[in-house]
Structure 1
Amino acid sequence: MAVDGRLFDHLPARIIPVDELRNLLLDQRCPRRVWDQVWAHVISRARIEGSTWTITAVGLALPMLTPLAARLTERYADDPSDIHAEVLRGFLDALQTVDLAEGRITVRLRWAAYRAGHRALLDGMDGPTPKPPGFHSSEPKPPSGHPDLVLARAVEAGVLTRTEAELIGVTRLEGVELADWPRPPGLTYKTLAKHRRKAENRLAAWLAESDTSPDEGDPTGAAATTLQTSNEVTGDETQSQNVAKKVGGDPANQPPNFGLQGRR
């Protein structure tokens, strides 16, 4: 399997095997516009030609999907196979529905895969967990402090929009620079930074209100309460930094460490 590099900006003007193509996309010097160009091409071929290019798309996406699935299930005590399968299903469904003209294709593919996996995780947590001997039912232990779940719960509660959660997750947790976020035409960097700060402020306030008596085993509640107290003294800028630390990120946008979003 290969693509013609002459069809895309920045890539070598020759036939490129897909395993090399993946490495080129993961290179931190690869512009984001090239990601959209390549993914639009691969998805178009998958829709027209079917299974072979669909498998190719999955192969290209594995550096993005594998850590996503691992993060969703890292504190899940039961068999994670069904959740991992739902992550893949969400990605495959998005291959057929994502708007190729809208841009930010990899971000939207990842978000679709995440939502499918997260729904499966919540379903798994809602059911009783078998407990030997005798397989008596016991209450499932929630994955306290999981950064993706924090953002997902905030979306479900109406505290954040999906776009705001996506923005915080990608730029705070995955190390993508805010300047590299594919913002809509007419939206400046300064305005985008302001939107993110306001979203983080709402998130911090909501976490503090919902975790007024944090359990010792729940770092999410403890961190949120500490954050709210600190912000009353230090103001918005420290608040934004603490939110990033709370959900597992770094206000300095530390170098990424995985996936198409992380470019390693």
Structure 2
Amino acid sequence: MDRRIPATEPAVARHGETLLNDIEYRFRLMGQGPSPLSVDGRALGLALPRRAIALPELSAILMHPSCGYAARDAAWRLLVQRARTGDPAWRVGAVGVALPGLRFRAYLLAKLFSGDVQAAIVEYFLRALSTVDVAKPGVVGNLLSAAFSKARAELRDLEPASSGVPNHAPGAVLPPAPYGHPDLVLARAVPAGVITVQEAELIGATHLEEVSLTAYAERTGQPRWNLYKRRTAAVARLKAAIESGELSDPYDDVVNEATSTLVLDAPTARKRP
């Protein structure tokens, strides 16, 4: 597949192993200067800071546990609408805001395949921006699920026929950025041996992306009861690891500082379970 897209957008064919880092660098630059790429928090409402919010700060806010689902969906509907105008800056911006989720899914793919997982996940995320139904809840989860499914199918097709075991491809993807977000907690849990890649995907889909266990069972062709038992056991191990400090996030203070305005503006905001 020819992955070439305009030079003003993420160069998905260049340096696959560092692609997400390249995008993050450009994304951070977009949030600096006198006129950073931003959204109007006052217009969005829903307990978001009532001022212009640069996209890197918006990303931190949307990941924070105090940010409710309604605010997250409102922000992502706006990001998708602006990306659909064709403006390369907004397409890069949407990828940048989604970087934590993209890193997590690239990490999972790299455990299974030896192909260019970062290029594949970014390619299909950009495509999903044009097709996702923004009227449905869980906009970013739907975007990431679509990108993950399409990237996984492509990478599976590109695997050598002789490959009968998962690839662990050292260096195929860099460790996830250390943000305090549930997706990234799952990503830290996999290399720590707390849960498997398959368990992380199961928990991510059915707990974070609001996919029903029945729908997930139908999608994967696995018995619902078996999935329920596997998820219950995996969640118990995950909870124990979190409570013991094994999966603690050393960057919690950074995230809390970045989202302090949100906390002050919305003291009663619903916390994510």
TM-score of the alignment, normalized to the shorter chain, above 0.5: yes
- SS of residue matched to 2:39: strand
| Pairs within 5 Å for 1:114-129 | 114-125=148-159, 127-128=160-161
- Normalising by structure 2, we get a TM-score of 0.55
Report the alpha carbon displacement of residue 121 of structure 1 after superposing the two structures with TM: 2.1
Report the alpha carbon displacement of residue 96 of structure 1 after superposing the two structures with TM: 0.8
- Mapped to 2, the partners of 1:35 and 1:14 lie a distance apart of 16
| Pairs within 5 Å for 1:1-264 | 1-8=37-44, 9-76=46-113, 78=114, 80-81=115-116, 83-125=117-159, 127-128=160-161, 139-143=162-166, 146-147=197-198, 169-171=204-206, 176=208, 181=210, 195=214, 203-204=222-223, 242-244=229-231, 249-251=234-236, 254=239
Higher RCO structure (Cα 8 Å, ≥6 apart): 2
- SS of residue matched to 2:137: coil
What are the Cα deviations for residues 210-242 of structure 1, in whole angstroms up to 9, with x where unaligned?
Answer: xxxxxxxxxxxxxxxxxxxxxxxxxx6xx5653
Query: Structure 1 residues 241, 97: CA separation in 2 closer, same or farther (over 3 Å shift)?
Result: closer
Report the alpha carbon displacement of residue 119 of structure 1 after superposing the two structures with TM: 1.1
Q: Is the 8 A contact 1:72 1:148 kept in 2?
A: no
- Mapped to 1, the partners of 2:236 and 2:137 lie a distance apart of 26
Report the alpha carbon displacement of residue 203 of structure 1 after superposing the two structures with TM: 2.5
- Mapped to 2, the partners of 1:92 and 1:146 lie a distance apart of 24
What are the Cα deviations for residues 32-61 of structure 1, in whole angstroms up to 9, with x where unaligned?
Answer: 111110011111111125101000000001
- Mapped to 2, the partners of 1:257 and 1:204 lie a distance apart of 33
Query: Structure 1 residues 251, 99: CA separation in 2 closer, same or farther (over 3 Å shift)?
Result: same
Q: Which runs of 5+ in 2 are unaligned?
A: 1-36, 168-195, 250-271
Counterpart of 1:171, as a letter, is T
Q: Percent identity?
A: 26
- SS of residue matched to 2:53: strand
| 2:192 aligned residue | none
CA RMSD in angstroms, aligned pairs only: 3.6
Bigger radius of gyration: 1
Q: Is the 8 A contact 2:109 2:152 kept in 1?
A: yes
Q: Is the 8 A contact 1:39 1:106 kept in 2?
A: yes
What are the Cα deviations for residues 85-123 of structure 1, in whole angstroms up to 9, with x where unaligned?
Answer: 121111111101112122221111011110121012211
- Mapped to 2, the partners of 1:55 and 1:24 lie a distance apart of 18
Q: Is the 8 A contact 2:128 2:146 kept in 1?
A: yes
